[in-house]
Amino acid sequence: MDLKQQTIDTYNTTAEAMAVKFNNIGGRKSDVDRGFSFIDKTNPFAFEIGCGNGRDAIEILKHTENYLGTDISKSMIELARVEAPTGKFEVVDIDTYEFPLGIDIIFSFASLLHSESASIKSILESAYSALNPGGVFYISLKFGEGSITKTDEFGTRTYFLYTPDDIKKFAGGRYDVVYEDVHDLRDQKWFTLALKKK
């Protein structure tokens, strides 16, 4: 069984039901506001990894008109284009994606948890090259070790768990940590890191 494809299939086949759940939770306004607080620029280029149905794109687009959201799920991207019609969206596999240049801030909310450690190292390297000087990579992930494959009402998905120290190690000293937080959310430990390109 290809665990990655299984995860993609789950998002594609249950996108609408997941979108209802995500929208009921609401967008990450405080995280988006915090991320932009590290950027001193008018209309910065914001890039989102794993935009899902676009609920956070709505918040990001309040700060900039220059936004590109990406997701591996075609069904989620279709919903995002309806949810946030002024944004630009692409179906991509971030594990192999070539980032556009000139990005000011990258948001990755609960999306890199589907990437193995080797992919995250590569993503952090590619992001560094794509970010403008002083650009920010804003990441939220489930806190833990190893991987888990979980089946719920939506289907089966595989998650990879990390710690803040893991991400800092993968970043290889190329970024300064400008924000770090560990918190509990819906019976799960999460962490947030904001990494600023040196």
30 domain residue, yes or no: yes
pLDDT in tens, 113-126: 999 999 999 999 99
85 domain residue, yes or no: yes
Q: What is the DSSP letter of 181?
A: E
Report the length, in residues, of the chain. Answer: 198
18 domain residue, yes or no: yes
pLDDT in tens, 151-181: 888 889 999 999 999 999 999 999 999 999 9
- Check: CB of residue 175 under 8 Å from CB of residue 195: yes
pLDDT in tens, 72-115: 999 999 999 999 999 999 999 999 999 999 999 999 999 999 99
186 domain residue, yes or no: no
CA neighbor of 136 nearest in space, from 80, 84, 64: 64
Strands 131-142 and 155-160: unpaired
53 domain residue, yes or no: yes
Query: What is the number of domains present in the chain?
Result: 1
CATH number at residue 25: 3.40.50.150
190 domain residue, yes or no: no
- Check: CB of residue 53 under 8 Å from CB of residue 79: yes
Q: What is the extent of the structural domain holding 75?
A: 3-140+162-174
104 domain residue, yes or no: yes
191 domain residue, yes or no: no
